[in-house]
A and B are shown apart, each in its own frame.
Chain A
């Protein structure tokens, strides 16, 4: 009894020491009515303490609010550059880039596959010239940039490094994240180029390169977002995402990397859906599981390598095309769950996204929504304000229990390796099958009316389809981009391009060499994204998903 009492005192004392070391924002930290509040309540476990269920920092949002990172990208690089500058002016603190489908798939704008998709769902990047336009007049040494790209991630990272160099910014000054989470592509998002194993080799090369050259860069953002969007449950999102994380850790360890080094630079990306407490339980469980596995299974000793830092985006799939303006309320509730779950950064969806790409007005409202959560609700004053609630603690435990059952299955599939279990689960359709089952179950519930979606199967009055102002990307984007690509191709030194591409193929053939330097050299010759992808494809082959519906 006495020693237990002591431990509790010690936990609080330890937290107090940590808290005092933290720099705290200049704010009153009192309620709207003037009642002062403590930085945290409870007496068992404190934020910033292993296993970090209550948050990864002792002071949480008292030190720093989450980064309001709004995903943007459409049309040409110049169009997106304007949107970036607008977001920075409006108080956004990080850039997040959406690429168009051809770019995401390693195809150039003049590929026959690109027809109709150039600049539609994101910005088109074919060569370094487009990247130069995309970040024109933005100081890359001060912003943090997130790039959502996976299959051809190495090429886009190389372009970013090259643009920075042109502006006198060295790789070690660059802060940001590249999604680069290929495993979830096979499971959910389906934007892969090569088969899983060669893809892991590219990622391992990127981890090695960034660990050595780009200390402020997060080389993988392990993403559950797309798994959830594809229809998984909250627990599946949690489990598949963390299992993918374990897989990258196992691959990096196998490649001789130090778990304490690269572990610090892994980050996560989760979905915040509409079931409020389930989401909060999921976020809390994610931190606890990750810390335990990093410490106990992978032998991390540096606490920073045990922290599950994550970005959150509200659930695009929850947005309805009917009465789209009510999506603003959904996004607000989901944003609140992310804040209560302790996220490090947040993208709030625009209400019109079920219909088309967001208009500028809708994107502004979405940013304002999270600003309301941050500045008006008071939830940022107290770390993990729901911790200790019997329901929230139970939900956290339940999410963990379900996730552990899935890890056990994968461990079994891989004979003691989560990485092999994940490869096997991709190969035998386990992930896509589970996700499709969950998606279908949800649809049946909605369809039978057992699950109410406001505006869709209940409360449907008031929809006004005539009165919608949607963002349209015209054909001129495609024409412009094709012309731009042609210009770049006609001006570059073709001999340099060919040499650089042959070098990539040579390095791809030699697993002991790192692909990154060769790719950086190639982008500087204005080799196109597709040319670089093809230079590796001849060695690595392509991937076709098996039909599991």
Chain B
């Protein structure tokens, strides 16, 4: 498997408006041949779940810059699992290393810190999708 057009949702959850990173990531994934469904700013867990259903997304990427990741990340993960959706959730932005473990144990598939290269971004998304597909 894996040889199909991957569809990835990118969104900003909550009020945080820093969208430089997520826009760059959108282009990186597009240039890696993926289809990016860009939801933009001010999304809620419910609006992301609804979009993921309609778009049949293979992965969801959230960008967070406001130190709210420990609250909002797990909230999004549980919204997905409450909806019975097995879609890998990847968080990027300003996330200190020491928070990564807590996020992973809350069901987040991967965390991309500041300064991740394009190759790391693409590989992280692809790995998260393959891990889900093989599960």
Contacts and interface: CB of A to CB of B under 8 A. Distances in A.
A330 interface: no
Nearest to A107: B15
A116 B115 contact: no
Interface in A533-547: 545, 547
Interface string B70-92: 11100100000000000000000
Contacts of B35: none
Interface stretch (A87-95, A233-241, A352-360): A352-360
Given A113-B15, A120-B68, A468-B96, 6 more contacts: A101-B15, A105-B15, A115-B72, A116-B71, A230-B20, A549-B38
Contacts of A357: 67
Contacts of A320: 114-115
A125 interface: no
Contacts of A453: 115
Contacts of A549: 23, 26-27, 36, 38
16 contacts: A101-B66, A112-B44, A115-B75, A116-B14, A121-B66, A121-B67, A189-B17, A190-B19, A230-B20, A322-B115, A354-B114, A355-B94, A355-B96, A356-B67, A436-B27, A549-B38
Contacts of A104: 15
Interface stretch (A131-139, A439-447, A521-529): A439-447
B23 A116 contact: no
A114 interface: yes
Contacts of A443: 24, 28, 118
Contacts of B15: 101-102, 104-105, 107, 113-114, 117
A547 B38 contact: yes
Contacts of A114: 15
A48 interface: no
Contacts of A102: 15
A438 to B, nearest CB: 10
Interface string B44-80: 1000000000000000000000111011100100000
A190 B113 CA distance: 22
A470 B96 CA distance: 9
List 7 A-B pairs, minimum CB-CB distance, nearest first.
A116-B71, A190-B17, A116-B68, A321-B114, A120-B67, A101-B15, A447-B118
Contacts, number: 102
B104 interface: no
Contacts of B96: 355-356, 468, 470
Contact of A117 (B14, B36, B114): B14
A191 B17 contact: yes
A465 B97 contact: yes
A321 B40 contact: no
B67 A473 contact: yes
B43 to A, nearest CB: 11
B117 interface: yes
B27 A440 contact: yes
A122 to B, nearest CB: 9
Contact of A115 (B17, B19, B40, B71): B71
- A interface residue count range (under 10 / 10 to 19 / 20 to 34 / 35 or more): 35 or more
Contacts of B16: 101, 117
Interface in A71-128: 101-102, 104-105, 107, 112-117, 120-121
Nearest to B17: A190
Contacts of A356: 67, 94, 96
A473 to B, nearest CB: 7
A196 interface: no
B41 interface: yes
A229 B20 contact: yes
A237 B26 CA distance: 23
A9 interface: no
Nearest to B30: A549
Nearest to A443: B24
Contacts of B14: 101, 113, 115-117
Interface in A442-481: 443-444, 447, 453, 456-457, 465, 468, 470, 473
A447 B38 CA distance: 23
A545 B114 contact: no
Interface string A290-323: 0000000000000000000000000001001110
A119 B36 CA distance: 32
A219 interface: no
Nearest to A436: B23
A436 B68 CA distance: 24
Contacts of B36: 549
B99 to A, nearest CB: 10
Nearest to B13: A116
A231 interface: yes
A104 B115 CA distance: 27
Contacts of A121: 66-67
Contacts of B118: 443-444, 447
A8 B67 CA distance: 56
A317 B20 contact: yes
B20 A117 contact: no
B66 A439 contact: no
